[in-house]
Amino acid sequence: MTIDDFKKDLSQRLGVRVVSIFTRDGDPAADVMDVYQAAPAGFGGKLMVSDGKVYMWELWLEDETNWNFQAKQIPRV
């Protein structure tokens, strides 16, 4: 999966177009593996949507078949 594919997936989950994905530290993610964590298995970081809002987000594998997603808007720095 490319970072652009991942933006599309996160856009569908969030319900608004994701324009940028960042690591938890705020560095731009160039690859999906930049936001991957092995334990617990999943992905997470920060993202920016088309209206400029910023979110912290997590996407994790719940039971080896189902992915859970959560996002919380945070102040833009």
Tens of pLDDT, residues 9-34 = 999 999 999 999 999 999 999 999 99
- pLDDT, averaged across the chain: 93
- State the Cα–Cα distance between residues 36 and 51, nearest whole angstrom: 25
Sign of the torsion angle spanned by Cα atoms 19, 20, 24, 29? positive
Work out the end-to-end distance of the chain between its first and last CA atoms, rounded to an integer number of angstroms: 29
Q: Rounded to two decimals, what is the model's pTM?
A: 0.90
